Structure 1
Amino acid sequence: MKLRITTYNIHKGVSSFGARPRIHALKQAINSMQSDVLFLQEVQGRHDLHALKHASDWPELSQQDFLAGDSHHCAYGMNAVYDHGHHGNALLSCYPILSSNNRNISDHKYESRGILHCVLQAPDANVHCYVIHLGLFAGSRKRQNEALIDAVTSTAPPDAPVIIAGDFNDWSNQLSDELRARLGVVEVFDENLSRRGFGTYLRQLSGRGSKIQPARTFPAAMPFLQLDRIYVRGFKVESAEVLHGRMWAKLSDHAPIVASLALK
């Protein structure tokens, strides 16, 4: 079994500057990826003010349903709720979603965060998927990372294939080692030899080189911060890339990551 997956913070379907609607262009871009499973963050489940102001450019459906269309099943985890709407994480899957659960991991009242856990009925195995968007403060991220580890260990059998993806806000790369050690996952760029020489990769694995670095995805126009990640267990990573360039810079402040996986 092979899966093509994407993680993408869509910035609530509006431009980074001026909050102009981008949701229709986002749908075209997402369709062009031809991904089997999409892990989406900052998905606007409802926004009454945008719906009134941009009536012709704002779909009547929730963003997760609009982006899923007829080609994907979808699940939504509502995290932030306010008078005129709400937003959260979403998972779109071309395979049936057997179950979904949203776990509140908010660390303080100023940031609402959650883990959306979905079990997919893929052809050769049920795949446990976790959509994540961690906080802006290092202490919060560390505690939320612990909550993520607990969520995976308590809900996914040890031999089950697992995909964890989202916006970790972990620009200093402090969380990856703990996830690798306690969950047995790898990040999709750990083994991407096209990003680094083979000798460099071996030195990093042996501990003689610098820490393995994830990809740069923020800001989309000129990525230099390592915010977005895909961690997997039970899969071989066949390829991974960041989609960047002029088109992607117009759609969101984050660049998407696309990876091709093969079930071990």
Structure 2
Amino acid sequence: MHSFTTALGPRASDTLRIATYNIHKGVQGLGPVRRLEIHNLGAAVAQLDADIICLQEVRKLHRREAQYFAHWPDQPQADFLAPQGYAAVYRTNAVTRHGEHGNALLTRWPVIGHQHEDISDHRFEQRGLLHVELEIQGLPVHVIVVHLGLIPGSRVRQIHRLHAFIEREVPGGSPLVVAGDFNDWGQQIKRMLAGQGLHEYEEATPHRAFTYPARLPIVQLDHVYVRGLQPLGLQVPRGRSWWRMSDHLPLVAEFRV
């Protein structure tokens, strides 16, 4: 098991810590040299000490990998990764020959309700969004976990569908978080979300927020956008322990409620 270090410190009582992490289905490598990282990811997720953890590429089940790895967890990965005292919410985006995977949310705060919306743009990529309503300090807060497509045109259309979903399902005055893997190498999605009132913490040195590829990050694919919360800062944990577990690094952002 790896050891993990972060620079995350203590927080004020009105500070909300939100993490987003593409966990690459708990397995790294290919073919016979692939290795199971889900147990290390469990320790890493707990180390983040986040109030809300948004996860992408989370396995519900995978029959072939469960046979290949002797220590494959008996639980779905979202439940396995949830630290003690957290609730886990998972919904499937993609059904494959051997199993299912999708988005998940782990939370210290009570879950009021949740739903899933299919935002697949073509038959080669199954994509969805997970919407969870939480009660945080007596306040309803909406969190949407996304994993957008690889094709630029698909991402634009998926952002339009996200906007329509928000207009339909999220009250205008409610705090809103949209977090996940946006797969966007430019600024287009950021500009589109800003037009919808969603913003993220603007780091003075943007390269510090790079999350991909994990071993030598050169771009920020993972984001936490908010409406109705004050961004305070962000951090990307780094080091060999982190880049061995997934092709992405986690992004951790803090906000004032």
Instruction: Assess if the C-alpha contact under 8 Å between 2:131 and 2:143 holds in 1.
Output: yes
1:1-264 to 2 correspondence within 5 Å? 1-17=14-30, 18-55=33-70, 57-182=71-196, 184-188=197-201, 190=202, 192-193=203-204, 195=205, 215-263=209-257
- 1:133 deviation in Å? 0.2
Instruction: Assess if the C-alpha contact under 8 Å between 1:103 and 1:114 holds in 2.
Output: yes
For this pair of structures, how many residues does the alignment match? 242
Identity, % of aligned pairs? 42
Instruction: Assess if the C-alpha contact under 8 Å between 2:88 and 2:105 holds in 1.
Output: yes
- 1:69 deviation in Å? 4.3
- Distance in 2 (CA, whole Å) between partners of 1:173 and 1:113 is 21
- Distance in 2 (CA, whole Å) between partners of 1:233 and 1:82 is 35
Structure 1 portions without partners, runs of 5+: 197-212
Q: CA RMSD in A?
A: 1.5
> What amino acid maps onto 2:59 in structure 1?
Q
Secondary structure of the residue aligned to 1:139 is: helix
- 1:225 deviation in Å? 2.0
Instruction: Assess if the C-alpha contact under 8 Å between 2:142 and 2:176 holds in 1.
Output: yes
Superposition misfits of 4+ residues, deviation over 2 angstroms: 16-19
Structure 2 portions without partners, runs of 5+: 1-13
Secondary structure of the residue aligned to 2:214 is: coil
- 1:82 deviation in Å? 1.8
TM-aligned CA distance change 1:214 to 1:124, over 3 Å: farther
TM-score of the aligned structures, taking structure 2 as reference length? 0.90
Secondary structure of the residue aligned to 1:175 is: helix
Instruction: Assess if the C-alpha contact under 8 Å between 1:220 and 1:254 holds in 2.
Output: yes
Instruction: Assess if the C-alpha contact under 8 Å between 1:16 and 1:253 holds in 2.
Output: no
CA distances 1:100-139 after superposition (whole Å, capped 9, x unpaired): 1110000111100001000001114111000000000011
- Distance in 1 (CA, whole Å) between partners of 2:92 and 2:141 is 22
> What amino acid maps onto 1:254 in structure 2?
H
Secondary structure of the residue aligned to 2:188 is: coil
